[in-house]
Structure 1
Amino acid sequence: MQDDADNSADVDAEKHKAKMQKIKAARDRMKEDRQGEKGLIIVHTGPGKGKSSSGFGMILRSIAHGMPCAVVQFIKGGWDTGERRLLTENFGELCQFHAMGEGFTWETQDKSRDIAAAARGWEKAKDLIRDPEIRMVLLDEINIALRYDYLDLQEVLDFLRDEKPEMTHVVLTGRNAKPELIELADLVTEMTLVKHPFRAGIKAQAGVEF
């Protein structure tokens, strides 16, 4: 009986090895066909948590590779967030950080003020994206500014399509991304909300939300 079990395990191992060899060969062929590089337009949207977190993860990867990068926040203003502390206090030589917003729209309750803040943020974003030394720019929560028409969508699309340097990555976060932006983007991820502690009466907490 033990010999039969050993033989069966050997057969399973050989089948697994053969299957993995086929998968590896297919993956190697895919890699050979994909040798090009370009600066990507990346959109993180959807109602789920993790859009900004994913964007900041990319910023940290850029820093780890010694790639100059920048962040422009379109909604958060003077918030003392963990990502802001980390980047400004430890990686200021590689990552510029600009918090241009003045808070959520229901807090400011002043549309003209929100539009002006968004416009300042966009002007700063354009300067950073045009800078040939900067390899990645995170436009955090710009989708919210676009959703409320604080920025001209067509201007943003035209700039990203026509003026973004070829090798610069631009990451745009925020729920309700405009369909036209999704169409333009190279990489789009939609975060899906399954469960959130806020609905159970748990407030936003340091290290999780900010």
Structure 2
Amino acid sequence: MTEPDATLPEDEARHAAKMAKKKAARDRMMDAKTGEKGLIIVHTGPGKGKSSSGFGMIMRCIAHQMPCAVVQFIKGAWDTGERRLLTTHFSDLCQFHSMGEGFTWETQDKARDIAAAEAGWRKAQELIRDPSIRMVLLDEINIAFRYGYLDAAEVLAFLQAEKPPMTHVVLTGRGAPEALVEAADLVTEMTQVKHPFRAGIKAQPGVEF
């Protein structure tokens, strides 16, 4: 057991001893985690932040000089901040493909939406198969599953059979299919506590897009 440092006041010494014990336990735990693998990552749930978190991971890859790619399945018609940033400053490291034409109530054409989603998935397969690309973000693909534009079972089967061992694939959007959640390595569900839209505040640059 770590002894308190007699040169410190009693409360500070107790705190230091507690933190030292916690650090030792944490170090032992980290020493046991030696494996690496490409992950299937799902960001879902009704709360805000699913795409934002995915793009945060893309920026980390860029910072580590890891080639990566984005395929947007729904918001392709939007001029978003992340799209501007990645295509303007980081196109050498991150491919960006906007395949969607907007939310389904904007196009009002299911056949057209299905065709766009299928084109997006074909591009995603091409990117995922390339082992030099370390992360592929499939932004809002869960929405494409929800509306029946893509078959989630087909996508999952492809990931399990053809994803290179060290490639990370991030799938975002509310309502992720249960089979995808079960198969994924990392799943985060965003919960909504409060949102300004309910108070009459529109989507704003820098926050939503």
TM-score (norm 1): 0.95
Aligned residue in 1 for 2:179:
180
Q: Provide structure 2 residue ranges, at least 5 long, that are not aligned to the other structure.
A: 1-5
4+ residue stretches of structure 1 with deviation over 4 A? none
Distance 1:51 1:105 in 2: 19
Name the residue aligned to 1:164.
Answer: 163
Give the match for residue 70 of structure 1.
Answer: 69
Report the counterpart of residue 207 of structure 1 in structure 2. 206
Structure 1 residue 209: Cα displacement: 0.7
Map of 2:17 onto structure 1: 18
Which residue of 1 is the match for residue 3 of structure 2? none
- 1:115-173 per-residue CA deviation (whole Å, 9 max, x = no partner) reads 11110000000000001110000000000001112111111110111110000000000
What is the 5 A alignment of 1:33-182?
A: 33-182=32-181
What is aligned with 2:191?
Answer: 192
**Which blocks of at least 5 consecutive residues in structure 1 are unaligned?**
1-6
In structure 1, distance between residues paired with 2:168 and 2:131: 11
Counterpart Cα distance in 2 of 1:76 and 1:101: 6
Q: Which amino acid aligns with 2:9?
A: D
- The 3-state SS of whatever aligns with 2:54 is helix
CA–CA distance in structure 2, aligned partners of residues 95 and 154 of structure 1? 27
3-state DSSP class of the match of 2:132?
coil
The letter of the residue matching 1:50 is G
Structure 2 Cα separation of the partners of residues 78 and 153 of structure 1: 23
Q: Using the TM superposition, give the Cα deviation of residue 78 of structure 1 relative to its aligned residue in structure 2, in angstroms.
A: 2.8
Q: Give the deviation of 1:77 after TM superposition.
A: 1.9
Structure 2 length normalisation: TM-score? 0.95
Instruction: Report whether the alignment pairs 1:29 with 2:32.
Output: no
How far apart are the structure 1 equivalents of 2:74 and 2:66? 25
d(CA) in 1 for partners of 2:100, 2:197: 23
The residue that corresponds to 1:4 in the other structure is none
**Percent identity between the two aligned chains:** 77
CA distance in 2, matches of 1:162, 1:19: 47
User: For 2:80 and 2:61, how far apart are their aligned partners in 1?
Assistant: 20
